[in-house]
């Protein structure tokens, strides 16, 4: 399918005396699928506007000049009318020119003529300059539509222009192929850059870092009731206690717990929830299950000072200082950040790269290749190996019977 394009045409003329003529030319250009452009509404004394006019002419494919019986306002420096300056610039920049001159200016009404002799001489010289180009002559505004339409048809054949096209039609097969090649190259370079950045990020000597089966103490905020509160049947939501507790998983325990979520990309918010779940399990084991087997009632609080300060009365304090029920456990932001930084320093995690909506302001993380290999070593399920005892081997050997 042929690409539809529209040529931009600059219309130059004096303005007040040629309003109808300009209207006729503009209407004809629009009907011929052209884009008319003109700068006659700008004050001639503003030199910055002349820079703008030249810029518009540069963007146009063709140049049309309509001349009646007036020379037009002049530039103080050049001593030329702006219409002639526009014409000279179009010729200088090699724009195809179409001139439309009045066939008998002497018959025009007085208000459409220059009575000054100097201006009439300049107009005659300007007309002579235009007549060196493609020119048609008109007598009435009604003559211009047919003449402009015919001139456009001719100049499109003799001087095909680039024109303007829709952005959706600008993708020719050659451009599409080139764009696909460039995109592939960008992906290749981005991958190389990503690998280089990841290698440069592992600048910390991991041998100096705690890792593996070494302890990773995590502080967490807990919400709970003392066991004595349950025994006294005074456990209500409004009198829950709050404290700070430290759990002690290993770094491998944390990776085994968070790793499956990081095989794809996971947000920091979700990872903190998952780490809090690990802290919850460990805190319950420390504060409830272990306390059930603790017969040594020393009267010391098992959680932080804030919680121990919540005891109600000396009699109750002597009864039971164990935690009876935990309602919520959340890892502190400091401990969560420690885990995030440590895993990044060990080269186990990196920031996610998937594209997401602009409304998504979360930070995402995922496992590196090293992190995935470490997770597989920790969590992959292996087949059970039957170990034959020495006695079974001896009894099963016929040679020993």
* pLDDT, tens only, 3-18: 678 999 999 998 888 9
| Number of residues that this document lists for the chain | 401
The domain locations on the chain are 5-166, 207-379
Q: Report helix, strand or coil for 225.
A: strand
| Token pair belonging to 167 | 């952005």
**Beta strands 241-247 and 218-226, pairing class:** antiparallel
More confident residue, 358 or 13: 13
For the residues of 85-138, what is the DSSP string, one character each? HHHHHHHHTT--EEEEEES-GGGS-GGGB--SHHHHHHHHHHHHHHTTSEEEEE
* CATH 3.30.1050.10 at 5-166, yes or no: no
Torsion of CA 131, 135, 139, 145, to 10 degrees: -160
Q: In the structure, what pLDDT confidence band is assigned to residue 307 with cuts at 50, 70 and 90?
A: very low
Question: According to the model, what pLDDT value does residue 94 have?
Answer: 94
- The CA-based angle 313-319-321, given to 5 degrees, is 85
- pLDDT single digits (tens) 146-185: 999 999 999 999 999 988 887 776 667 777 788 888 988 8
Q: Report helix, strand or coil for 146.
A: helix
What is the Cα–Cα distance from 73 to 35, expressed in whole angstroms? Answer: 26
What is the Cα–Cα distance from 337 to 316, expressed in whole angstroms? Answer: 39
Q: In the predicted model, is pLDDT for residue 256 greater than 60?
A: yes
Strands (E) located in 179-237: 218-226
């Amino acid at each position: 399918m042929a690409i539809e394009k529209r040529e931009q045409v600059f219309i130059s003329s004096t303005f007040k005396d040629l309003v109808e003529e300009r209207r006729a030319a503009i209407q004809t250009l629009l009907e011929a699928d052209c884009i008319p452009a003109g700068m006659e509404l700008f004050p001639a004394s503003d030199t910055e506007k002349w820079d703008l006019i030249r810029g518009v002419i540069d963007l146009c494919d063709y140049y049309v000049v309509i001349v009646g019986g007036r020379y037009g306002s002049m530039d103080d420096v050049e001593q030329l009318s702006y219409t002639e300056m526009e014409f000279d610039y179009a010729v200088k920049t090699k724009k195809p020119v179409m001139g439309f001159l009045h066939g008998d200016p002497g018959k025009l009404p007085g208000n459409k003529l220059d009575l000054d002799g100097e201006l009439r001489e300049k107009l005659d010289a300007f007309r002579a300059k235009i007549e060196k180009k493609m020119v048609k002559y008109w007598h009435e505004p009604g003559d211009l539509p047919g003449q402009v339409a015919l001139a456009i048809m001719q100049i499109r054949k003799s001087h095909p222009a680039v024109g303007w096209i829709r952005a959706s039609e600008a993708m020719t097969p050659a451009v599409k192929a080139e764009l696909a090649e460039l995109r592939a190259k960008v992906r290749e370079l981005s991958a190389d850059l990503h690998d280089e950045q990841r290698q440069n990020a592992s600048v910390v000597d991991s041998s100096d870092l705690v890792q593996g089966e070494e302890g990773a103490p995590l502080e967490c905020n807990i919400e709970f009731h003392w066991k004595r509160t349950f025994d006294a049947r005074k456990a209500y939501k409004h009198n829950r206690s709050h404290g700070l507790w430290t759990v002690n998983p290993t770094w491998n325990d944390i990776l085994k717990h968070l790793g499956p979520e990081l095989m794809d990309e996971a947000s920091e918010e979700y990872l903190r929830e998952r780490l809090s779940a690990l802290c919850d399990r460990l805190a319950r084991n420390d504060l409830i299950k272990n306390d059930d087997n603790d017969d040594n009632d020393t009267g010391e609080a098992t959680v932080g000072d804030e919680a121990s300060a919540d005891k109600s009365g000396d009699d109750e304090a002597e009864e039971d200082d164990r935690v009876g029920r935990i309602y919520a456990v959340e890892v502190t932001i400091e401990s969560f950040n420690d885990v995030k930084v440590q895993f990044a320093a060990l080269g186990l995690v990196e920031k996610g790269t998937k594209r997401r909506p602009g409304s998504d302001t979360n930070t995402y993380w995922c496992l590196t290749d090293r992190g995935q290999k470490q997770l597989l070593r920790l969590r992959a399920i292996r087949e059970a190996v039957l170990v034959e005892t020495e006695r079974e081997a001896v009894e099963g050997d016929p040679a020993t019977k």
